[in-house]
């Protein structure tokens, strides 16, 4: 079984308008001379206490060196005019610099210098030593599945704010709110959320054919097609599908209810014909592309696959905007992924 990070971001287990251009970017005019917080935090906002999965964390004064653990945390910081001193390399769906185009564009927009920003590899787990080397005074892990043990270790380095609602499933709006509190920019965070939500709402209004349709996001392991993997209703991908107007697949909702703590569930390929969904999204890869799956004696019986109501996602960067949504990745999700979903609703499959 693939690693949890692979489950989160990549195929087979693998989600957005740049907030302020019909949301341009983050707060315009913010100045970040180095990989640190912009000097615009509201001093009156401190001390502030943020409730989270492992209790609460109090930030006593405006942080000046912020390191991130979750892949989307740096996006939210950048949208608020802040560049972290360290962030994980984006090793799936990212660019050659281990970043994303939307993050790089935002950094350029706010005129920030990222020469002092570390990009550490988290493919083998949280790189505690690399994070400590950035000498942070705050660590953010809202967009993550940080465990209690991880949290305890990180807290010895600096005050840490992990996920708040569910591991790997804290809604992007809640991530923005918590980060805004932690960095002393609650009003800017609220405005950022409102602007991003308007971008999504405008896109949804322009595509009414989606509303009321059901959707499931699946994954397949090429070497074992006896099982259909499905992301549960609390995962960020189905969350984004709902924001675009879809309803949860009844099959996925039923499986999700069996284990509310899980973000994936399995359906036997022998029950493929029972997967109720008007649209099915899945990661297309070698050995598990659309044509191979449609020809499979069992998986090919998925109704949406049979009828051409599917998205065989082959663009990892675009898919990343849906699996790890942030105020910066929303534009890619709206401009590049939503049209694929609309085509799928019409029975025109896309990659």
Give the pLDDT of residue 165: 83
Sign of the CA dihedral 157, 162, 167, 169? negative
Three-state SS annotation for 123-174 = CCCCCHHHHHHCCCCEEEECCCCCCHHHHHHHHHHCCEEECCCCCCCCCHHH
H-only helix segments in 231-296: 236-243, 250-258, 290-295
Can you list the positions of beta strands (E) in the chain? 48-52, 55-59, 66-68, 86-88, 118-120, 138-141, 160-162, 214-221, 224-231, 247-248, 264-268, 279-283, 310-313
Are the beta carbons of 326 and 71 closer than 8 angstroms?
A: no
**Cα torsion for 164, 84, 128, 91, to the nearest 10°?**
90
Q: Which residues contact 55 (CB under 8 A, 6 or more apart)?
A: none
Looking at the chain, the domain(s) classified CATH 3.40.50.1980 span: 29-193, 207-345
Class of domain 207-345: alpha beta
Torsions phi, psi for 224 (to 5 deg): -150, 90
Query: 92 is written with which tokens?
Result: 């799936």
CATH number for the 29-193 domain, one of 2.60.40.10, 3.40.1010.10, 3.40.50.720, 3.40.50.1980?
3.40.50.1980
Residue 44 in tokens: 């009156």
Q: What is the pLDDT along the chain (351 residues), one digit of tens a residue?
A: 233 444 555 433 332 222 222 222 232 223 333 444 444 678 889 999 999 999 999 999 999 999 999 999 999 999 999 999 999 999 999 999 999 999 999 999 999 989 899 999 999 999 999 999 999 999 999 999 999 999 999 999 999 999 998 899 999 999 999 999 999 999 999 999 999 999 999 999 999 999 999 999 999 999 999 999 999 999 999 999 999 999 999 999 999 999 988 899 999 999 999 999 999 999 998 999 999 999 999 999 999 999 999 999 999 999 999 999 999 999 999 999 999 999 999 999 988
């Amino acid at each position: 079984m693939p690693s949890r990070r692979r489950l989160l971001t990549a195929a087979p287990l693998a989600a957005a308008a740049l907030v302020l251009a019909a949301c341009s970017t983050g707060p315009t005019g913010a100045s970040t001379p180095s990989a640190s917080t912009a000097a615009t935090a509201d001093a009156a906002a401190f001390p502030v206490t943020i409730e989270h999965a492992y209790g609460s964390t109090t930030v006593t004064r405006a942080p000046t060196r912020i390191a991130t653990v979750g892949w989307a945390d740096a996006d939210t910081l950048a949208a608020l005019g802040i560049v972290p001193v360290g962030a994980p390399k984006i090793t799936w769906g990212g660019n050659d610099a281990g970043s994303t185009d939307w993050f790089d564009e935002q950094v350029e927009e706010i005129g920030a210098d990222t020469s002092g920003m570390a990009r550490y590899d988290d493919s083998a787990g949280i790189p505690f030593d690399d994070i400590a080397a950035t000498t942070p005074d705050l660590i953010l892990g809202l967009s993550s599945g940080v465990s209690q043990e991880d949290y305890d270790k990180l807290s010895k380095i600096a005050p840490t704010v992990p996920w708040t609602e569910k591991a790997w499933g804290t809604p992007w709006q809640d991530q923005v709110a918590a980060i805004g509190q932690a960095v002393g920019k609650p009003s800017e965070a609220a405005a950022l959320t409102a602007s991003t939500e308007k971008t999504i709402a405008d896109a949804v209004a322009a595509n009414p054919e989606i509303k009321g349709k059901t959707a499931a996001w699946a994954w397949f392991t090429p070497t074992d097609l006896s099982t259909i993997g499905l992301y549960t209703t609390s995962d960020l991908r189905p969350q984004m599908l709902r924001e675009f107007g879809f309803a949860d697949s009844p099959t996925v909702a039923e499986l999700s209810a069996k284990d509310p703590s899980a973000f994936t569930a399995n359906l036997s390929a022998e029950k493929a014909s029972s997967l109720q969904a008007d649209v099915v999204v899945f990661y297309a890869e070698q050995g598990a592309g659309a044509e191979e799956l449609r020809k499979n004696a069992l998986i090919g019986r998925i109704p949406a696959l049979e009828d051409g109501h599917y998205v065989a996602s082959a663009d990892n960067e675009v898919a990343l905007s849906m699996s790890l949504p942030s105020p910066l990745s929303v534009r890619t999700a709206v401009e590049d992924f939503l049209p694929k979903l609309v085509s799928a609703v019409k029975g025109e499959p896309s990659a």
